[in-house]
Amino acid sequence: MALPKAELHLHIEGTLEPDLAFELAGRNGVSLPYGSVEELAAQYRFYDLQSFLDLYYATMDVLRTGDDFAELTRRYLARASEQGVRHVELFFDPQAHVARGVRIEEVVDGIGAALDEAERDLGITSGMILCFLRDEPVESADRILSAGLTRTDRVIGVGLDSAEVGYPPALFEAVYRRAREAGLHVVAHAGEEGPAGYVREALDLLGAERIDHGIRSIEDPELVARLAHERIALTVCPLSNLRLRAVPDLADHPLHRLDEAGVAVTINSDDPSYFGGYIGDNFVAVRDALGLSADQASRFARNAIEASFAPEKRKAELLQELEAWRG
């Protein structure tokens, strides 16, 4: 049996596999600038965050209808289930879709329909986290928050993603305040390519409950101690960090050093279609490059359950499943 996992850092648009991209392009009459699935797959080579984002935003153009979002999410959930995912809090980027003329209701209802099916058929529980694109104007974030606040039946929180350097968390202080006051959970990408100072800002100015990536915190020992003391989980994505060259080699990844310092490290997949693996593959990659004992693996899985926004009763069930796995 696979280690039971909660996935806390997963962009649903980043699960778009080349074959589905072509299928949806055909269905929707969208032309992709590649001749074949293989040719598209060959583009999945990156040298930094921006080189990935360029392809990520271009390819998601094939997503047009609620059914497209449902099919995308269904395919992710099937693979996630095979790799032991029992709970997922997935990110989505509504500004990118609204800008293409897709209504946010299509996005939310499409993803939501697949999440309901997965709860019924696979026993996977879930929530949706609306991400603001930090390289878009803050007014745009404010407008999409207003739209999101009409859908708190599905949206449990907000996050912050896209190009990091030059777009510090401070820009979004007021938007985050409004989200918190509306009762939403708040997380933020910080310290992926950006400096440890952005992680501090995300905590101090945004009130972030978890930090997505956060690996550059390792450069600031005082911050590391604070993350450990305040039990702020980091949603680490090893294969993403490798593919986007946030670390030169997986063997240099700081996740064990963060863990040893008492930080609540979790392992996640980020954009699994683009980075060469789903969550279980990330655990395997860590094991192969850095070593991963059963104790460490189950600690990372427990950290994710505890850092999730699942109701306490569901967390208790998941912790029990984890205990059963440990035997």
**Please, which of residues 88-107 interact with ligand HPA by CB under 6 A?**
none
- Residue count at the site for Zn ion (CB under 5 A)? 1
Nearest residue to 89 via CA among 148, 147, 59, 131:
131
With CB under 5 A as the contact rule, which of the stretches 141-149, 177-185, 262-270, 295-303 interacts with Zn ion?
262-270
- Residue count at the site for ligand HPA (CB under 6 A)? 11
- Report d(CA 318, CA 29) in Å as an integer: 43
State the nearest-atom distance from the C-beta of 8 to ligand HPA, in Å.
13
State the nearest-atom distance from the C-beta of 209 to ligand HPA, in Å.
18
- Helices 196-204 and 221-229: crossing angle, nearest 10°? 40
Return the amino acid letter for 242. Answer: L
Nearer to Zn ion, 66 or 169 (CB): 169
Nearer to Zn ion, 111 or 322 (CB): 111
Interface with Zn ion (CB under 5 A), residue from 270, 280, 301, 309: 270
Locate 204 and state its tokens.
């101090």
State the nearest-atom distance from the C-beta of 240 to ligand HPA, in Å.
5
Mark 217-231 as b/e (b = at least 16 C-beta within 10 Å): bbebeebbebbbeee
Question: Tokens 């997949």 — which residue?
Answer: 269
State the nearest-atom distance from the C-beta of 274 to ligand HPA, in Å.
8
Among 192, 193, 209, 321, the one annotated catalytic:
192
Name the closest residue to ligand HPA (Cβ): 161
DSSP 239-293: HHHHHTTSSS-GGG-THHHHHHTT--EEE--BSHHHHT--HHHHHHHHHHHH---
Does an H or E element contain 132, and which?
strand 125-133
Q: Does 271 bind ligand HPA (CB under 6 A)?
A: yes
Name the closest residue to Zn ion (Cβ): 270
Nearer to Zn ion, 8 or 318 (CB): 8
Residue 163, Cβ density class (10 Å: 0-12 exposed, 13-18 middle, ≥19 buried): middle
Catalytic-residue membership of 192 = yes
**Please, which of residues 237-256 interact with ligand HPA by CB under 6 A?**
240
Locate 290 and state its tokens.
């850095």
Locate 65 and state its tokens.
């209808």
Interface with ligand HPA (CB under 6 A), residue from 7, 161, 209, 259: 161
Q: Does 13 bind Zn ion (CB under 5 A)?
A: no
Interface with ligand HPA (CB under 6 A), residue from 64, 86, 189, 210: 189
Q: Does 7 bind ligand HPA (CB under 6 A)?
A: no
Q: Does 201 bind ligand HPA (CB under 6 A)?
A: no
Nearer to Zn ion, 117 or 136 (CB): 136
Does an H or E element contain 92, and which?
strand 85-92
**In angstroms, how far is CA 185 from the centroid of its own chain?**
14
- Report d(CA 37, CA 29) in Å as an integer: 16
- Site residues, Zn ion (CB under 5 A): 270
Catalytic residue numbers read 192
- Site residues, ligand HPA (CB under 6 A): 11, 14, 49, 56, 161-162, 189, 192, 240, 270-271
